[in-house]
Structures are given as structure tokens and as C-alpha cells.
Amino acid sequence: MQKDLAGEVDAVTTWLPVREPDLTVGVVLREEPLNLMVCADHPLARQESVSMEVLGDHIVPRLNGPVPAYWEAALLPARTPAGRPVRRGPAVTTFNEILALVAAGDAVCTVPDEGRRYNAQTDVVHLPLHDAPPVQWALIWRTDRATPLVRALAQAATDCGGSTTR
């Protein structure tokens, strides 16, 4: 995200948490469910929804690249709610690599509902995680670049119903 905000863009929307001290977290623009992606022939694929606890029974990808560790932990926790370890599998750097791993049955992966909407594949099923907290998307900008335009955008987002709850 630092690269995105290195002067090439004024603001971005991304999922929370964001903890970099030089970034301002603005209003929450939307919330959406967290899903579990499994391959279409996976035993869980026929379920209506699943618990975060199932992560302890499967391998999840290890995120490799410019993703903060706290961000990975928020979406792919190291332990289930009951404390069971979640096994990490192959390292991935792109969402397409995650999709390929899941489609091949080599891993399962959590993903905001946006993943279902924008990356629909017949060989991958998205299951709601009924006990996961919702994913919050917020407006983010570099604190030292809070231009009048960025402040106006943040105000417009607030005026249109954005939440300041983080």
C-alpha cells in the first residue's frame, strides 16, 4: 500500500486494519462478509457456510510480498478461534496464484466477498464464514499529503453515509 500512496495516487480504498503511522485511515466506506474459497469438488463446497474453525483442518497459502504481517494475520489467522494452529502452505504473491492453488485443491483461503464478485470461477466455491467479523473497507491517504482535494473526498464520503467506526 505504501507503493500505491508514494505520490502516484492521492487516496485508496482498502480493507482494514491499516497501522502504518504515516497513513490516515478515513471513513469506513463499506463492510462485507469474509468468505472461504475452496475448490469446487472439496467436501466443504456443498456447505451453505462454514466456521473459522475449519481453517485448522486445511492448508492456507503463505502470503509472500509487500503485505504487512498484521494484514495477513487479519485475513489468514495463525490460529483458529479455539486455538488450533492453521497450517501454511505454498508462498504466493498474487491473487491469481491463490486462485490457482485453491482451484487445484492444494489450499483453502479466506477472501473478502469482493473476491467472489470480481473473480468468479467455476472451479472455486466461496463459502460465507458465519463466525468471522466483517471486512471493513476504508479510505486511506498519506497523512503528509492531505491536500484540500483529499479532505474534500473524505468529507464527501462521510456525508454519503461512510462510518467512522474502525
pLDDT given at position 114: 85
User: Residues spanned by CATH 3.40.190.10 within the chain?
Assistant: 34-128
Digitized pLDDT (tens) for each residue of the chain, 166 residues in all: 555 556 678 899 999 999 999 999 999 999 999 999 999 999 999 999 999 999 999 999 998 878 888 988 888 999 999 999 999 999 999 999 999 999 999 999 999 998 887 777 889 999 999 999 999 999 999 999 999 999 999 999 888 876 654 4
Three cell numbers written together for 31? 463492510
pTM of the predicted structure, to 2 decimals? 0.85
What span, in angstroms and rounded, lies between the C-alpha atoms of 50 and 35? 9
List the alpha helices (DSSP H) in 13-142. Answer: 69-75, 95-103, 114-118
pLDDT given at position 66: 80
pLDDT given at position 104: 97
Three cell numbers written together for 101? 492453488
Three cell numbers written together for 11? 487516496
Give domain 34-128's CATH superfamily: Periplasmic binding protein-like II (3.40.190.10)
Contacts of 47 (CB under 8 A, 6+ apart): 127
